[in-house]
Structure 1
């Protein structure tokens, strides 16, 4: 993967660079503030090397508010196929909702504590690069706490499977976590698609199912 990493903490920024480079990924550039992030992505694209994923902190200079998130939203508007992985110290479902409301994939929102689980973090990057969605379980729980509407028809097990889909897990990984057979998980996933009105042939059914789950609260 080709990555650009932005975080105002030099320790975390360099740690992330070292982590992904040890896995054979290419860090095109890094930035310590939101304007630097935008400039780095634009420069890479101008040189003909579009990053697969941008990793950005929510709060960065110059404003130390949601500058990193604002920069990521701006970049996604300019480059619709750009994968975005947002890292945050805060659950803040409203931050994730700014991307989820756009009904598109290639997005992740993880709490920084999750980076310590290296295998899970790298898997999440791969999901985002492939156009999928990964939402931190704590954030997903708050977003969908008052599940309603299209999710009412789902059984508890189907909701459980859909929640794990929202974490970016594949059918095989869901089967391992729930101690189910691969065939059983496939049936639950198919039932979810059917009940959410996502028939065979629907483009990006998995992404659309996750978006429905996460935005059920409006």
Structure 2
């Protein structure tokens, strides 16, 4: 994972939060190369600075509804490999569904603003997304699980738990620590998930992880 030197384009209408994020990123060796108070300038700033990752709020001027979300989707459409982390004040699973539906690859994240207070978690999320990972806020994952029947009925409860932790962006080692089992056991669960989701081997397991998480959170194959 990238640990230092990320170039970030940041958009948030709240001045104090915006400046706090700039300072926080700098503390961990990253640079906010463009800082915006609305979503209108995101496309131009991205073209100008070619950032490693874009971090944008969902709700911004002029209507304070979903300008940032639509700007993020447009960025991914025009720059499919551009990592984008979307911040939201509230748990809105529809926003998570929308941003996930706009991508077939990694480098995407949806995080609640409360997570910024957990400094290391926020910075880890930025770095994971910049490195091509898929990071969904744990609280959003819980709401998604509660809202719909699992689209992955073939998975065991433990496999669903492992996949939920993968959706939070946890590595195999982190899942091992969370579940207090061996890394070998976690690896077996993940291989079973890939098999049951009909995800054939690819060049890297990272790609299959992203596809598994996207399939899970987007509800592909939900049984009626």
Q: Give TM-score, length-normalised by structure 2.
A: 0.90
Name the Cα RMSD after superposition: 1.5
Of 31-40 and 51-60, deviating more is 31-40
Which residue matches 2:149? 147
Matched, 1:114 2:115: yes
Which residue matches 1:47? none
What's the CA shift for 1:190? 0.8
Matched, 1:179 2:176: no
> Helix, strand or coil for the counterpart of 1:39?
helix
User: Can you list the C-alpha shifts for 1:23-66, whole angstroms capped at 9, x where unaligned?
Assistant: 1112111000111223221222xxxxx21111100001122111
Which of residues 16, 29, 33 in structure 2 aligns to 1:24?
A: 29
CA distance in structure 2 between the aligned counterparts of 1:74 and 1:142, rounded to whole angstroms: 26
Which residue matches 2:11? 6
What's the CA shift for 1:17? 0.5
What's the CA shift for 1:143? 2.4
Question: Are the aligned partners of 1:105 and 1:133 in contact in 2 as well (CA < 8 Å)?
Answer: yes
What's the CA shift for 1:75? 1.3
What's the CA shift for 1:141? 2.2
What's the CA shift for 1:74? 1.1
CA distance in structure 1 between the aligned counterparts of 2:57 and 2:201, rounded to whole angstroms: 37
CA distance in structure 1 between the aligned counterparts of 2:168 and 2:101, rounded to whole angstroms: 17
> Helix, strand or coil for the counterpart of 1:100?
helix
Name stretches of at least 5 consecutive residues in structure 2 with no aligned partner.
Answer: 1-5
CA distance in structure 2 between the aligned counterparts of 1:64 and 1:42, rounded to whole angstroms: 24
CA distance in structure 2 between the aligned counterparts of 1:193 and 1:97, rounded to whole angstroms: 21
The 1:54/1:139 distance shift into structure 2, 3 A limit, reads same
CA distance in structure 1 between the aligned counterparts of 2:164 and 2:31, rounded to whole angstroms: 31
Question: Are the aligned partners of 2:159 and 2:190 in contact in 1 as well (CA < 8 Å)?
Answer: yes
CA distance in structure 2 between the aligned counterparts of 1:24 and 1:127, rounded to whole angstroms: 15
CA distance in structure 2 between the aligned counterparts of 1:2 and 1:51, rounded to whole angstroms: 5
Which residue matches 1:66? 66
Which residue matches 1:132? 133
Structure 1 residue runs of 4+, over 4 Å off? none
What's the CA shift for 1:202? 6.5
CA distance in structure 2 between the aligned counterparts of 1:63 and 1:40, rounded to whole angstroms: 21
Question: Are the aligned partners of 2:69 and 2:99 in contact in 1 as well (CA < 8 Å)?
Answer: no
CA distance in structure 2 between the aligned counterparts of 1:31 and 1:14, rounded to whole angstroms: 10
Of 7-16 and 92-101, deviating more is 92-101
- Tell me the number of residue pairs that the alignment of Structure 1 and Structure 2 aligns: 212
Which residue matches 1:205? 208
What's the CA shift for 1:4? 0.7
CA distance in structure 2 between the aligned counterparts of 1:39 and 1:199, rounded to whole angstroms: 39
What's the CA shift for 1:201? 2.2
